[in-house]
Structure 1
């Protein structure tokens, strides 16, 4: 058996060796964990910075969607053409309102009536309420006239020579009996040709129908 000093030294040496071994083991585990952590972070960084996968090779037919997963097959592989896209609906065009000159140009011309007889004379007018020679009551607001010989109901176009204004009247009375006058117009008819101011005007008459 050794001396007590040697036994004490050996005991301390064993303690130091045990503590040193435990420390080495802890350092080894820590270093391994550190190495694994760095590797994972590097892998994540590499994944983030990795370039995107290259597009598949272009199709020889020239269709940019050919060969892509999930894309519609090209028209040639379907066996029938695609339904054409509907054209956008066109808003109805608003019709432009015609001006007065265009409306007058497009209006149907008045049918010319055959003139049976014509001549020139002077015309007067009257407005007193009375019974006409045709048997009807005289109305100064109707387009009527008196003539000496034309049949009742005859239609006569009367034109004021002073201004060119015309009116068509119906004969329903006899007169006038003053010299130089061949027509006695109603007040409304005389107003149409602008002769009420003078009372007697020169006119040209055209007989459109007799009776």
Structure 2
């Protein structure tokens, strides 16, 4: 009873416990990362990546209207919104590159992303053609 009188006079121990639990629950809502942030850090997908052929450089337009630039850090993905930023990690050597989605595709085979030639060369040798990658939405 003495402790109760010192801290919050007039409150019964049970009510004090209820308030304490409510405070803990409320504070836990504001600590750490949110569920959405945690989901954003999860891999988008794992699969094969390829790159644009240099014959497209400056000639064709991407699905969002930009000219193809094999030297930019861009990529094509079937469903991610234009402007999405993705980390592409080569699973065989752990090298990664960050690219911006500005096109749709790839449409052939089991590939999950088409990288610009420069982006592909940051994670693998161009002669490889395709590499197994993990995509993480940033």
Q: Same fold by TM (over 0.5)?
A: yes
The one of 86, 108, 121 equivalent to 1:156 is 86
Q: Hey, what's the Cα distance between the residues in 2 that align with 1:120 and 1:199?
A: 17
1:197 paired to 2:127: yes
Take 2:124 and 2:93, find their aligned partners in 1: how far apart are those partners?
A: 8
Structure 1 unmatched runs, 5+: 1-112
Tell me, yes or no, if the aligned pair for 1:122 and 1:202 is still in contact at 8 Å: yes
User: Mind listing any 5+ residue stretches in structure 2 that lack a counterpart?
Assistant: 1-37
Is contact 2:86–2:101 with CA below 8 Å preserved after alignment? yes
How big is the shift at 1:195? 3.6
Larger Rg: 1
Give 1:178 deviation, angstroms.
1.2
The size of the alignment, in residue pairs, is 96
Q: TM-score scaled to structure 2, two decimals? A: 0.65
Aligned pairs for 1:29-48 within 5 A: none
Q: Give, in whole Å, the separation in 2 of the partners of 1:207 and 1:162.
A: 20
Name the CA shift for 1:177/1:167 in 2 (closer, same or farther; >3 Å): same
Greater RCO (CA < 8 Å, at least 6 residues apart): 2
The separation in 1 between residues aligned to 2:132 and 2:125, in whole angstroms, is 9
